[in-house]
Chains A and B, each alone.
Chain A
Amino acid sequence: MAARLIAALALGAVALAGCARAPATRQPLSFWAMGREGEVVRKLVPEFERRHPEIALEVQQIPWTAAHEKLLTAYVGGTTPDVAQLGNTWIPELVALGALEPLDSWIARSRAIDRNDGFPGIWQTNMLDGVTWGVPWYVDTRVLFYRSDLVAAAHVPWPPRTWAEWRQAMEAVKALAPGRFAILLPIDEWEKPVILSLQTGCGLLRDGGRYGAFRDPRCRRAMAFYTDLFAARLAPALDATGVANLYQQFAEGYFAMYITGPWNLGEFRRRLPPEMQDRWATVPLPAPDASFGYPGASLAGGSSLVVLRGCRSLAAAAAWIDYLSEPAQQAEFYRLSGNLPARRAAWTAAGLASDPRAAAFLTQLERAVPTPQVPEWEQIAARIADRSEEVMRGARGLDAALTDLDADIDRILEKRRFLLARAAARGRR
C-alpha cells in the first residue's frame, strides 16, 4: 500500500516537472476552428511550426452547430482561446461583450495582411465604428446557380441584369413546363429576402440600428418582388425540409435556378449526374434596375480570424494570423477545404480566377454588403424568416406582415435603444 502511494507520488512529481518544463521554451497558443475547417487547418500547422518553433500551437475543433454557444460560454467562464475563427456576422455580438482585441495597430504593421488585396464588403463586416476586430480568412456570398440548357431553351436575354429581366426569364422558363418551377427559394430561409432588400439600398434597420425598416418603400419593393414569385407560382412554397433531394430535383429540372453559396460548387460537381455536368453554370445576382449598376448586391459572409481578450501572447497570435493570411496558405486552404480565399492574390494562385463558375463569385464579391451590424442580428434574421414564411403560406398579407416584422424588430432592439440613449445622455453631461 505504502509502496504504491510512493510510486503514485513519484509519478505525479515527474508529470509536474514535465509540465513545468514545456512552456518555458515554447509559447502556447490555442486556436478554435469550426467544423471541417478545424480538421483541414491542421494540415497547415506543420509548416507554421517549422517557421515558428517558439510557438506551440494547439488547434481545437468546435462543431459549427455548437460554436456560437461555446464561444459565449467560454467567455463567461474565462476559458476563451487565444485566437478563433468567427463567422463574421457574430463579430458585433462579441464586440458588444468586450471579448475581442482591436487589431488596427498591428494590421497596419503587418506585412502579410493587405486590405487592398481583399474585398471591401468583407472587410466592412469586420469593422465596427471604424475599429477592425477581425481579419477575413475565407469568404462566402450568394450567386445564382442555373440550368444552362433550360435557360437557353427559353430564349431570353442572359445573364439577367435587372429584376425585370430576371422575372421575364423566370416566366419564360416556367412556360417551358408549367408543372415545374423557375426558381427554388426555400421559404424558411432569411437570406433571400434579406439579399433582395439589401440590393435596393434599404438598410433593413433605420436610425443607426434602432428600429426595423421593412415598411421603407425600398424594403417593401424587395419583399413584394420576392413574395410575388410565389404568388405567380414561379417558385414553389416549400421549406428546406420539403425539398427531398435538392440535387436530384435540380437535375430533373423541377426548378431551373437556385440562389446559393460557394460550398455548392463542389456539391453540384459531386452530386449531379455526369450528363448534367455541362448543363449548369453560375452568374452574379441581378440588380433591382439599371440605376443600381451590375451586379446587384449580395451577402458578405465568411469567417474571420479574431484575437480574444486575455490572449496569452499577441505576438504569437499575430504570427499565426499573418501566416494564414498569406496568399500561398490561403490558396492551399482553398484546395483543402473548398472555401473561397479572402485575398485576390490567392484566387490567382489557386487557379480560381480562370474557373468560370467560380468567377461569378469573384464578380459578386465586389458587390457584397454586410447585414446590419448589431448584436441582435441573429434574432432579427430568425424573425425575418418567420414573417416572410407567413406571407408565402398565405397566412398574412404583405403589408400586415411587414408591420408585424417591424414591431418584432423594434421589440428586439428595445435594449439597444435604451443603451444608446443612456450613453448619449452620459456623453452630454
Chain B
Amino acid sequence: MRSVRGEARAAWGLLAPALAAIALFFALPVVGGLILSFTDFDLYAIADPGNARFVGLANYVGLLRDPLFWKALGNTLLLVGLGVPLSMGVALAGALLVNSPLARLRAVYRTIFFAPVVTTLVAAAVVWRYLYHPRFGLINRALEACGLPTVDWLGNPRWAMVAITLMAVWRAFGYSLVIFVAGLQAIPGSLYEAARLDGAGGWQIFTRITLPQLRGTMFFVAILTTVGFFQIFAEPYVMTRGGPLNATLSIALLMYQQGFRWWNMGRASAIAFVLFGLILTVSVAQALVRRRQEGGR
C-alpha cells in the first residue's frame, strides 16, 4: 500500500514538468481566451487595457445574429461534409493499394502519398493556383479537351469552396493513409487465409474482414480528419482570402479576420469557443455512434 503511494508520488514528480508546461502554455491561455470572450477587448483596449469592458454573453449573441457567421458556418459544414468522406475514401483506397501484396516499391509510394502533408502550403498554393487558372490551368485544359465547359475555379462563388476542398483533401489524405496502412498491417494474416479457404471473393474479404477489422482505425481517422477540416484556415487564407463573396470564408478564417483584421479580440475568442463546442459535439456524436455499433455486435 505504502509502496503504491510512493510510486504515485514519484509518478507525479516525473509528470510535474510536463503538467506545468501544459498549465502554463495551454490551460492558462485557454482560460484567458474564455475570459476574453466575455469582454469587448478590441483595438482601443490594446492601447489601454482600461478600455475593455465586461459584456457578458453579448459576443455570443452578436455572433448568432451575424449573417457572416452563418455564412462561414455553412461553408465550413460544406467543407467537412464533402472533404471528410472524400479524404477518408481516397486514403483508404490508397492504403489498400500500397498494402496490396502485388504492390512493389511500397515505401516509395507511401512517401509520395505522404509528401503533400509535409509540403509547405504556400508553395503548394502557387502550384494549385496554376492548376485552377481559368484559362491556362491544367484542370480547365483537361475539361476543354473532353469537350466540357470550363470553370473559373477560384473566382466563381459556387465552385470556389469545392476547389478549396479538393486541395485540402490532397493535402490531408496522406496522413490518414499512413495510419490506414498501419491498421491494415495489424490485421492477422490468418483471418485472410481462413476466409480464402472458405472460398470468399475479394470484395467479400474486403467487407467482411478488412473493414470490420479496421473499425478502430477508421474511428480514429474520422475524428482526426473531422477536427482537421473544421479548423481549416490556411488553404482559404492563401488561396482566396475568404472570397469571392465570402464563399470560402471558414469559421477559423472568420475568427482570424475578427481577431487580427478588425482587432475584435473578444468576438474572435467567442468564435473560437463556438468552434470548440462544435468540434466537441461532433466528436462525441461520432464516439456515441461507434459505441452503439460496438454494442450492437
Residues of B within 8 A of A240 (CB): 244
Residue of B nearest to A69 (CB): B260
On chain A, the number of residues with a Cβ less than 8 Å from chain B's Cβ atoms is: 23
The A-contacting residues of B in range 240-297, CB under 8 angstroms, are 241, 243-245, 260-263
Which one of A69, A73, A188 lies within 8 Å of B245 (CB-CB)? A188
Residues of B within 8 A of A378 (CB): 261-262
Residues of A within 8 A of B40 (CB): 415
B1 interface residue (CB < 8 Å to A): no
Residue of B nearest to A68 (CB): B261
A239-B244, A415-B40, A418-B53 given as contacts; is B46 within 8 A of A97 (CB)? yes
Question: Bound state CA distance, A207 and B294, in angstroms?
Answer: 66
The B-contacting residues of A in range 92-120, CB under 8 angstroms, are 93, 96-98
Residues of A within 8 A of B195 (CB): none
Q: How far is the CB of A133 from chain B (nearest CB, A)?
A: 14
- The answer to whether A76 and B46 touch across the interface, beta carbons within 8 angstroms, is yes
Residue of B nearest to A378 (CB): B262
Question: Hey, what's the 0/1 contact readout for A56-100 against B, CB within 8 Å counting as 1?
Answer: 000000000100110011011000000000000000010011100
Question: Bound state CA distance, A98 and B44, in angstroms?
Answer: 9
Q: How far is the CB of B246 from chain A (nearest CB, A)?
A: 9
Question: Hey, what's the 0/1 contact readout for B3-25 against A, CB within 8 Å counting as 1?
Answer: 00000000000000000000000
Q: How far is the CB of A125 from chain B (nearest CB, A)?
A: 19
Residues of B within 8 A of A418 (CB): 53
- The answer to whether B43 and A375 touch across the interface, beta carbons within 8 angstroms, is yes
A419 interface residue (CB < 8 Å to B): yes
A277 interface residue (CB < 8 Å to B): no
Residues of B within 8 A of A375 (CB): 43-44
B33 interface residue (CB < 8 Å to A): no
Residues of B within 8 A of A98 (CB): 47
- The answer to whether B44 and A419 touch across the interface, beta carbons within 8 angstroms, is yes
B100 interface residue (CB < 8 Å to A): no
- The answer to whether B241 and A241 touch across the interface, beta carbons within 8 angstroms, is no
B156 interface residue (CB < 8 Å to A): yes
A379 interface residue (CB < 8 Å to B): yes
- The answer to whether B53 and A241 touch across the interface, beta carbons within 8 angstroms, is no
B183 interface residue (CB < 8 Å to A): no
B157 interface residue (CB < 8 Å to A): yes
- The answer to whether A379 and B262 touch across the interface, beta carbons within 8 angstroms, is yes
Query: Chain A interface mostly helix, strand, loop or mixed?
Result: helix
Residues of A within 8 A of B74 (CB): none
Residues of A within 8 A of B235 (CB): none
Question: Bound state CA distance, A78 and B263, in angstroms?
Answer: 16
A-B contact count (CB 8 A): 43
- The answer to whether B156 and A241 touch across the interface, beta carbons within 8 angstroms, is yes
A241-B156, A241-B157 given as contacts; is B51 within 8 A of A419 (CB)? yes
Residue of A nearest to B67 (CB): A386
- The answer to whether B46 and A241 touch across the interface, beta carbons within 8 angstroms, is no
Residues of A within 8 A of B241 (CB): 65
Q: How far is the CB of B39 from chain A (nearest CB, A)?
A: 11
Q: How far is the CB of B47 from chain A (nearest CB, A)?
A: 5
Question: Bound state CA distance, A241 and B156, in angstroms?
Answer: 7
- The answer to whether B44 and A96 touch across the interface, beta carbons within 8 angstroms, is yes
Question: Bound state CA distance, A351 and B92, in angstroms?
Answer: 66
B137 interface residue (CB < 8 Å to A): no
B228 interface residue (CB < 8 Å to A): no
Question: Bound state CA distance, A98 and B51, in angstroms?
Answer: 13
A241-B155, A241-B156, A241-B244 given as contacts; is B43 within 8 A of A73 (CB)? no
Residues of B within 8 A of A73 (CB): 260
Question: Bound state CA distance, A188 and B156, in angstroms?
Answer: 14
Question: Hey, what's the 0/1 contact readout for A360-400 against B, CB within 8 Å counting as 1?
Answer: 00000000000000010011000000000000000000000
Residues of A within 8 A of B53 (CB): 418
Question: Hey, what's the 0/1 contact readout for A293-307 against B, CB within 8 Å counting as 1?
Answer: 000000000000000
- The answer to whether A239 and B245 touch across the interface, beta carbons within 8 angstroms, is yes
Residue of A nearest to B51 (CB): A419
Q: How far is the CB of B54 from chain A (nearest CB, A)?
A: 13
Question: Bound state CA distance, A375 and B263, in angstroms?
Answer: 11
Output the residue of B40, B155, B245 with the most chain A CB within 10 A: B245
The A-contacting residues of B in range 209-265, CB under 8 angstroms, are 241, 243-245, 260-263
Question: Bound state CA distance, A416 and B42, in angstroms?
Answer: 11
Question: Hey, what's the 0/1 contact readout for A14-36 against B, CB within 8 Å counting as 1?
Answer: 00000000000000000000000
Residues of B within 8 A of A68 (CB): 261
A98-B47, A241-B157, A415-B40 given as contacts; is B260 within 8 A of A72 (CB)? yes
Residues of B within 8 A of A96 (CB): 43-44, 47
Q: How far is the CB of A375 from chain B (nearest CB, A)?
A: 6
Question: Bound state CA distance, A69 and B259, in angstroms?
Answer: 9
Residues of A within 8 A of B152 (CB): 241, 244
Which one of B43, B243, B244 lies within 8 Å of A93 (CB-CB)? B43
Residue of B nearest to A422 (CB): B51
Q: How far is the CB of B40 from chain A (nearest CB, A)?
A: 6
A73-B260, A97-B47 given as contacts; is B42 within 8 A of A415 (CB)? yes
- The answer to whether B263 and A72 touch across the interface, beta carbons within 8 angstroms, is yes
Residues of B within 8 A of A419 (CB): 44, 51
The B-contacting residues of A in range 106-145, CB under 8 angstroms, are none
Question: Hey, what's the 0/1 contact readout for A229-272 against B, CB within 8 Å counting as 1?
Answer: 00000000001110010000000000000000000000000000
- The answer to whether A241 and B245 touch across the interface, beta carbons within 8 angstroms, is yes
8 tightest A-B CB contacts, nearest first: A241-B244, A69-B260, A97-B47, A98-B47, A241-B155, A379-B262, A375-B43, A96-B43
16 sampled A-B residue pairs with Cβ under 8 A: A69-B260, A73-B260, A75-B46, A93-B43, A96-B44, A97-B43, A97-B47, A188-B245, A239-B245, A241-B152, A241-B157, A241-B244, A378-B261, A378-B262, A415-B40, A415-B42
Extra contacts, 5 of them, besides A72-B260, A415-B51 (Cβ < 8 A), are: A65-B241, A188-B245, A241-B244, A244-B152, A416-B44
